[in-house]
């Protein structure tokens, strides 16, 4: 070789990056990660090097040694002469948040810098995610790289309801292990609810003696379980002894997880009342609830009895003795205040304290409890209902009914944790719902969780710092086994972990999907149950200039969509979806996702489109529908999709105002019927309009009345139902159709929302 070319090659080696190594699949993505060339080999020549006096690191180090032994079969020696080292450096001046760490991998050494036990643990967790998660025969190589990492938020929470279904201490520990793997640090343990009291309170043994046990109806769907009858065997249940809880709290602490206990009050406590009936307003005896059937049961503590507060102080004293967490969660959600309205003692309290109403009575309740919690040097947190009637002076708020409560509290300089039902409720569907296990409802997909931004736009720079973080909530009305629990949490918790840990600017859905494959493999190898992600095909109509098209999508970037329009079952020989599909007549569209030749849906997504003369026409509204029920914009009223008898995505909702919509069919047509499809559901505050009027016009200026239809169904009628408000007219020439649907004045007397604005729901204006 000529000398010049050798120099040239050496030059190239210097300046060109050698083949870049693929970044490891660490979830949550580190704040900064820089790949280098080469790798650190894990073999018998490696020793773990610990700094002197690192006694407090022992459990963390033992965790790592144990994990390494699982995947490598090697027991890493500590501080022994060795060719290569994994060295731990404790550095109080590290320029990272307390839970942060630095991980530097070179061929000869892995160095971990951290200022705390938590940082060391998280460095270990990241390191473990560069290796296989189970024992294989492959050489164990950690790619050379440099990581600087710290969490974005301090509260990285997962909640678990153990009242609706009881989960053993072993299952709870597995849950904690999963949380720790993904750097989640707060376990919100929902220990008390109507259907079971799960924490031993030594002073009140009947809380668990009676309140933890119910008649076993696990074979029935939650809402259809009959109430217990006297004499039936209360054989379902369980509770945690204080010793078991101390053990779990310590187990969690070793994994940098704070356990925040939730002791519900003043509502959702039928289980406590089953043990101690004198705590309710009526004092009447009741059997523990078996499921979602509340008829004639007391669910609240009486806010008028001082004995209730003495009882709760005793309970909280025992709770605080076994839970060292700063925050104590006192629930506060969904209190049905009707029993307080009827109770002489509650009313006497309202009078004596100068309170305006029952909302203020709840506020009084919470403030009195907060005072006690603060006296014990702890802080109170509760669901966002604790804002109603006035927030306790130092309380933190957990925002679950959307983000409004969190925004309001943060603006008042109170700390908040964001757990909006959409997308933070992991008891909701994550795909399907066809082919998914029965869930309480909702549709919180992996991508929705991934895309969640915990800091609402409404908060300014000052208020933002009150957002402690976010949390995934797992209510267990429909989750009865450990396997099902894993399935609901995996993989959504991984998406949430990245949301609460990684800098917002680093989030990348495609890259997350690449990295998650490693975790899916690990779940398979470990026998963990998980959803493979949301392959459900989303069918989205869109009309432009009077033409309707349908676009199909799935959340999984690598998947391909195949569809049919004749109702037959699609497979890989059906039409591959490439661009929006024009729809000109009635079709039944079915679509599936196929990845690597494998059909990913148990059942196809499907949607019928019914053509009519206004199909695809432009609609203008006088007042837009609620932002919560936008369907696909105004043209949803002419997309040929009829809504189902459930408040879902194809309905337009109007809260307290009329629907006034004008349809432009583009050209003058001969028409003879017009209808508006509507929905009513008493329980959801949705009622048929009192009347619907129709008008037609050729020029869009002069409208001629075409008839009015009044509802023939009382707003008092229970259950979900759909109705077409339809007029027949003599054959008429029209280009424009105007529909005015009058919302009823208010929710009817006797309804929980009596006197408050009612909802009006509509799905389609059909013109023939």
| Binding region for ligand ACM (CB under 6 A) | 333-334, 383, 400
Give the one residue of 118, 121, 160, 302 binding Zn ion; rule: CB under 5 A.
Answer: 302
Q: Is 268 a catalytic residue?
A: yes
Q: Which does 333 bind (CB under 5 to 8 A by kind): Zn ion, ligand ACM, none?
A: ligand ACM
Q: Which does 343 bind (CB under 5 to 8 A by kind): ligand ACM, Zn ion, none?
A: Zn ion
Determine contact, residues 303/346, Cβ cutoff 8 Å: yes
**Shortest spacing between CB 159 and ligand ACM, in angstroms:** 9
Our answer to whether residue 193 is catalytic in this structure is: yes
Residues forming beta bridges with residue 561, ordered by sequence position: 593
Among the listed residues 180, 259, 343, 581, the single contact to Zn ion using CB under 5 A? 343
> Is the Cβ–Cβ distance between 717 and 752 less than 8 Å?
no
**What residues does 102 pair with on adjacent strands?**
113, 148
The encoded tokens of residue 731 equal 């054959």
Closest CB 331 distance from Zn ion, rounded Å = 18
Q: Which is nearer to ligand ACM, 330 or 692 (CB)?
A: 330
| C-alpha angle 124-130-134 in degrees, rounded to nearest 5 | 90
Q: Is the dihedral of CA 87, 89, 94, 98 positive or negative?
A: positive
- For the bound state, the minimum distance from the C-beta of residue 676 to ligand ACM, rounded and expressed in Å, comes to 34
Q: Which residue has the tokens 């129709």?
A: 694
Residue written as token pair 């001969």? 670
Q: Which is nearer to ligand ACM, 285 or 294 (CB)?
A: 294
Q: Which of 150, 193, 388, 764 is catalytic?
A: 193
What is the Cα–Cα distance from 410 to 382, expressed in whole angstroms? 14
Q: Which of 159, 165, 188, 268 is catalytic?
A: 268
Residue (401 or 642) nearer to ligand ACM, CB: 401
Active site residue 334: yes
Beta carbon of residue 400, minimum distance to ligand ACM (angstroms, whole number): 4
Taking the least distance from each CB to Zn ion, the nearer of 345 and 440 is 345
In angstroms, give the least distance from the CB of 419 to ligand ACM: 8
Size of site (CB under 5 A) for Zn ion = 6
- Smallest separation (angstroms) from Zn ion to the CB of 345: 5
What is the C-alpha separation between 119 and 96, in angstroms, rounded?
Answer: 10
CA nearest to 414, candidates 427, 429, 395, 388:
395
Q: Which partner in ligand ACM, Zn ion, none is near 383 (CB below 5 to 8 A by kind)?
A: ligand ACM
**Whole-angstrom distance between the N-terminal and C-terminal Cα of the chain?**
85
For residue 365, the partner it binds in Zn ion, ligand ACM, none, with Cβ less than 5 to 8 A by kind, is none
Closer residue to ligand ACM (CB): 90 or 289: 289
Q: Which stretch binds Zn ion (CB under 5 A): 105-113, 122-130, 344-352, 650-658?
A: 344-352
Residue with Cβ nearer ligand ACM (471 or 601): 471
Place of tokens 């809380």: 207
Task: Pick from 42, 346, 637, 734 the residue near Zn ion by CB under 5 A.
Answer: 346
Q: Which residues contact 271 (CB under 8 A, 6 or more apart)?
A: 163, 192, 193, 194, 195, 196, 197, 207, 211, 212, 288, 289
Smallest gap from Cβ 496 to ligand ACM, in A, equals: 16
Q: How far apart are the C-alpha atoms of 477 and 388, rounded to whole Å?
A: 26
Q: Is the dihedral of CA 364, 369, 372, 377 positive or negative?
A: negative
Catalytic option among 70, 243, 334, 745: 334
C-alpha dist (Å) from residue 84 to 10, 76, 106, 114, 135: 29, 11, 10, 20, 21
Q: Select 383 or 452, whichever has its Cβ closest to ligand ACM.
A: 383
Q: Which of 141, 72, 24, 13 has the alpha carbon at shortest distance from 515?
A: 24
Would you call 227 helix, strand, or coil by DSSP? coil
Pick one of ligand ACM, Zn ion, none as the site partner of residue 302 (Cβ within 5 to 8 A by kind): Zn ion
The single residue among 48, 281, 496, 516 that binds Zn ion, judged by CB under 5 A, is 281
Under 8 Å between Cβ of 331 and 192: yes
Residue 383 or 688: which CB sits closer to ligand ACM? 383
345 binds, among ligand ACM, Zn ion, none (CB under 5 to 8 A by kind): Zn ion
Nearer to ligand ACM, 30 or 267 (CB): 267
Is 105 in contact with 145 (CB distance < 8 Å)? yes
The item of Zn ion, ligand ACM, none sharing an interface with residue 455, based on CB under 5 to 8 Å by kind, is none
Shortest distance in whole angstroms from residue 385 CB to ligand ACM: 8
By CB under 5 A, is residue 361 in contact with Zn ion? no
Q: Which stretch binds Zn ion (CB under 5 A): 132-140, 275-283, 329-337, 363-371?
A: 275-283
660 binds, among ligand ACM, Zn ion, none (CB under 5 to 8 A by kind): none
Structural contact between residues 509 and 446, judged by C-beta atoms closer than 8 angstroms: no
Structure tokens belonging to residue 307: 């004995």
Query: How far is residue 632's CA from residue 664's CA, in Å, rounded to a whole number?
Result: 17
Please compute Rg for the chain using Cα positions: 30
In the complex, least distance from residue 334 CB atom to ligand ACM, rounded to whole angstroms: 5
- How far is Cα 346 from Cα 510, in angstroms, rounded to an integer? 56
Residues known to be catalytic: 193, 268, 334
Q: What residue ranges bind Zn ion (CB under 5 A)?
A: 281, 302, 304, 343, 345-346
């Amino acid at each position: 070789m000529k000398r010049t070319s050798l120099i040239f090659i050496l030059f190239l080696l210097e300046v060109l990056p050698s083949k870049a190594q693929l970044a490891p699949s660490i979830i949550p993505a580190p704040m900064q990660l820089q790949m280098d060339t080469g790798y650190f080999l894990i073999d018998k020549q490696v020793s773990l090097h610990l700094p002197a006096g690192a006694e407090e690191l022992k459990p963390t180090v033992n965790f790592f040694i144990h994990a390494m032994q699982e995947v490598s079969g090697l027991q890493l020696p500590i501080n022994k002469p060795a060719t290569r080292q994994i060295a731990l450096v404790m550095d109080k001046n590290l320029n990272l948040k307390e839970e942060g760490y630095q991980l530097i991998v070179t061929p000869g050494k892995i160095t971990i810098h951290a200022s705390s036990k938590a940082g060391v643990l998280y460095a270990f967790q990241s390191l473990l995610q560069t290796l296989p998660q189970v024992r294989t025969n492959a050489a164990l190589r950690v790619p050379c790289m440099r990581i600087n990492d710290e969490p974005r938020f301090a509260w990285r929470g997962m909640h678990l309801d153990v009242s609706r279904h009881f989960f053993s201490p072993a299952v709870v520990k597995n849950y904690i292990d999963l949380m720790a793997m993904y750097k989640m640090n707060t376990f919100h343990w929902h220990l008390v609810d109507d259907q079971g009291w799960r924490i031993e309170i030594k002073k009140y043994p009947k809380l668990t003696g009676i309140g933890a046990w119910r008649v076993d109806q696990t074979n029935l769907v939650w809402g259809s379980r009959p109430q217990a009858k006297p004499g039936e065997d209360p054989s379902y249940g369980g509770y945690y002894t204080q010793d078991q809880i101390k053990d779990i709290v310590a187990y969690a602490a070793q994994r940098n997880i704070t356990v925040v206990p939730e002791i519900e009050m003043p509502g959702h406590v039928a289980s406590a009342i089953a043990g101690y009936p004198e705590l309710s307003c009526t004092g009447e005896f009741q059997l523990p609830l078996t499921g979602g059937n509340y008829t004639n049961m007391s669910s609240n503590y009486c806010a008028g009895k001082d004995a209730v507060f003495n009882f709760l102080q005793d309970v909280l004293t025992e709770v605080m003795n076994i839970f060292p967490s700063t925050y104590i969660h006192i629930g506060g959600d969904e209190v049905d205040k009707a029993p307080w309205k009827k109770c002489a003692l509650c009313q006497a309290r309202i009078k004596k304290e100068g309170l305006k109403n029952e909302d203020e009575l709840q506020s009084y309740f919470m403030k009195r409890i907060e005072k006690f919690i603060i006296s014990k040097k702890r802080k109170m947190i509760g669901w966002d209902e604790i804002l109603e009637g006035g927030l306790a002076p130092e309380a933190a708020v957990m925002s679950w009914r959307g983000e409004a409560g969190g925004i309001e509290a943060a603006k008042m300089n109170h700390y908040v944790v964001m757990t909006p039902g959409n997308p933070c409720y992991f008891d909701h569907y994550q795909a399907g719902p066809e082919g998914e296990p029965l869930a309480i409802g909702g549709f919180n997909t992996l991508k929705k969780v991934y895309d969640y931004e915990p800091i609402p736009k409404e908060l300014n720079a000052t208020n933002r710092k009150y957002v402690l973080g976010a949390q995934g909530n797992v209510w267990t009305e429909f989750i009865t086994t450990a396997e099902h629990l894993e399935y609901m949490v995996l993989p959504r918790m991984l998406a949430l972990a990245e949301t609460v840990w990684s800098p917002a600017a680093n989030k990348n859905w495609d890259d997350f999907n690449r990295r998650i494959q490693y975790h899916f493999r690990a779940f398979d190898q470990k026998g963990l149950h998980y959803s493979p992600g949301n392959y459900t095909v989303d069918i989205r109509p869109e009309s432009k200039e009077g033409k309707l098209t349908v676009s199909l999508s799935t959340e999984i970037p690598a998947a391909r969509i195949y569809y049919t329009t004749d109702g037959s079952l699609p497979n890989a020989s059906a039409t591959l979806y490439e661009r929006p599909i024009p729809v000109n007549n009635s079709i039944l569209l079915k679509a599936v996702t196929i990845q690597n030749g494998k059909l990913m849906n148990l059942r196809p997504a499907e949607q019928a489109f019914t053509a009519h003369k206004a199909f695809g026409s432009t609609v203008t509204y006088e007042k837009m529908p609620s932002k919560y029920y936008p369907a696909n914009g105004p043209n949803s009223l002419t997309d040929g999709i009829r809504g189902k008898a459930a408040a879902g995505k194809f309905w337009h909702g109007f809260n307290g105002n009329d629907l006034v919509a004008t349809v432009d069919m583009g050209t003058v047509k001969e028409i003879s019927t017009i209808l508006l499809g509507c929905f009513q559901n008493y329980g959801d505050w949705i009622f048929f309009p009192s009347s619907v009027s129709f008008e037609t016009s050729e020029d869009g200026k002069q409208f001629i009345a075409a008839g009015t239809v009044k509802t023939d169904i009382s707003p008092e009628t229970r259950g979900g139902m759909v109705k077409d408000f339809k007029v027949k007219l003599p054959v008429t020439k029209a280009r424009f159709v105007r529909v005015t649907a009058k919302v009823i004045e208010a929710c009817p007397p006797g309804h929980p929302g009596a006197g408050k604005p009612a909802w009006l729901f509509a799905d389609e204006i059909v013109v023939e």
